[in-house]
Structure 1
């Protein structure tokens, strides 16, 4: 489904001939992206690798990083941003906008009422030292235009750029940061998968060889698989903050393997003895069950014939039906009121 807020900004971009930066995350789907008219003065910044690949393929200058405007090494006449799902990212972008604008440059922020846009606008007004020019779009969309000049106190972005240690099972040291799903906690679904993985490995004659952590986040499943004896781990994610955090954890735990930015392992062509996956089921503020099918399909492509995949999903996801299209053996290994772990094999 096309995001109305982002489509509004894309329409504005297509009317511009000045140096323009569009900041986008998971809201930017392929249909909206294709509506953009590539020109030399347009730059797209995204923390999503799939957006970066799609933009590049359509001749749109795109930078893939963890929402760091300073890495662009230039200033813009116009910066457009449709608010993200995570508050820390929104505050981080607002805080950076003035330094990335030319003199008399304009920052445009948009979002919906149920996403907290009214509060974001109020906070930005205090920080930018001016009242916003506010207009309305469809379905309670609000668009705020700013010309920042007298900066006040920066918004709390939870020290966005900094890695911090989070609580983990068994007092294992794990580092994470804002900008990725569940960044400041250990996901209960992943922990349930780890329990199933422990039992499975203890029943085997030897631990798994090569493991693929599909949608790795900050690398919890990779770390636990390594501690259970995995020989080598390849971790991949679509999100720049996840890649940054996971690489730190690989270094800290001396994990043999690699952390790769990719869209659901699309450019990874090897097969593995084991695939571990806690797939997302949200795109921005919307729920998309197709994401689960995408990850299950990728797991089947990347698993050796003799291999085993473990996937954890929320109880309401019909994983058994989805997996039946790609695997012969489907067993629910563990479940509770919220999650279920399935073991998949050919």
Structure 2
């Protein structure tokens, strides 16, 4: 069982409630143990992470309702919310604001996270949403905080949480809309810029944007090469929601948005695959999703299809690409990033 769950269960007195909402906790046996303690409690689980959602769907008790979305919506009023501290501090305020219409007036909020995740700043970060917020426990390299929710006077509007920025590359002007917790929320990241500056001169047909984030790559390529047709894949509901907004801002109306854990939900084939693949999950470096993607992507390529990725130059992706897809060329190395491309014969 995950350390977060163990710390929560050792504070079982704080878990007493009639209706509990669990947000983004990793999938394990916690909900089963919770309902053994409080069998009359109505339990809902909400996550923005599709991998968690898939695992929860397989393992949850039958009485638990589970939701995957960018925003939690329910007619239920919860008197307890349990939140896993997010990797983005801005996402915590977003999550707390989102709960305004879903909590009772006296609702208690528990926030749990690993000590190295930045959770020790939670009292300051939550001051507009929680009163009497204080540390309730610390164990297994984790900390648990408890507070009482402060009901807000205004209705939560997800549109107000977008950060909008603009950039121009090769004469293509783009607007980007990004929610808290989405990669490179405030400005264009260096890796994606290097990729967009070094695209092939001809792109057409079906294109897969793997790990699409806020939809920057798909929007740019769609504007530069109007005959492309994009499928955008990401594990994050916040990313997919942002991508839809970004493409709409740039007049791109023909795209498919697909929540997926790596390639779990991808079934079609494509002429081209583009990616600035993720390699961080939480506070730990994690390459598994990208390595799984590279090992399995060939089956989703048409003949003469290409895979182009950008990555930190220290990441050892070319040997995997060469072994699993086709011979690899290094298109450019710039500012600590490399663009790699391979094409099926």
TM range (shorter): 0.7 to 0.9
Q: Which runs of 5+ in 2 are unaligned?
A: 36-40
Q: Deviations over 1:314-336 (max 9, x none)?
A: 11211012223311211111112
Matching residue of 2:38:
none
Which of residues 62, 67, 87 is equivalent to 2:66?
62
Matching residue of 1:33:
28
C-alpha contact (below 8 Å) 2:219/2:252 kept by paired residues: no
Which of residues 223, 242, 265 is equivalent to 1:245?
242
Distance 1:11 1:19 in 2: 20
C-alpha contact (below 8 Å) 2:133/2:148 kept by paired residues: no
Distance 2:23 2:161 in 1: 21
Which of residues 114, 117, 120 is equivalent to 1:115?
117
| Count of residues in correspondence between the two structures | 328
Q: Deviations over 1:194-246 (max 9, x none)?
A: 2221xx225xxxx3211111111111111222123243111121111211121
Which of residues 301, 306, 311 is equivalent to 1:313?
311
Larger deviation: 98-107 or 188-197? Answer: 98-107
Pairs within 5 Å for 1:125-274: 127-132=129-134, 134-139=136-141, 141-148=142-149, 161-170=160-169, 171-197=173-199, 200-202=200-202, 207-229=203-225, 230-252=227-249, 253-274=251-272
Larger deviation: 163-172 or 84-93? Answer: 163-172
Residue 10 to residue 36, structure 1, CA distance change in 2 (3 Å): farther
User: Secondary structure, in 3 states, of the residue corresponding to 2:204?
Assistant: coil
C-alpha contact (below 8 Å) 2:133/2:145 kept by paired residues: no
Distance 1:162 1:151 in 2: 18
Residue 331 to residue 20, structure 1, CA distance change in 2 (3 Å): same
Which structure has more strand as a fraction of its residues? 2
Question: How many Å apart are 1:53 and its aligned residue?
Answer: 2.1
Q: Which runs of 5+ in 1 are unaligned?
A: none
Distance 2:191 2:115 in 1: 30
Matching residue of 1:344:
342
Distance 1:185 1:9 in 2: 37
TM-score (norm 2): 0.83
Matching residue of 1:52:
53
TM-score (norm 1): 0.83
Pairwise CA RMSD: 3.1
Question: How many Å apart are 1:63 and its aligned residue?
Answer: 0.7
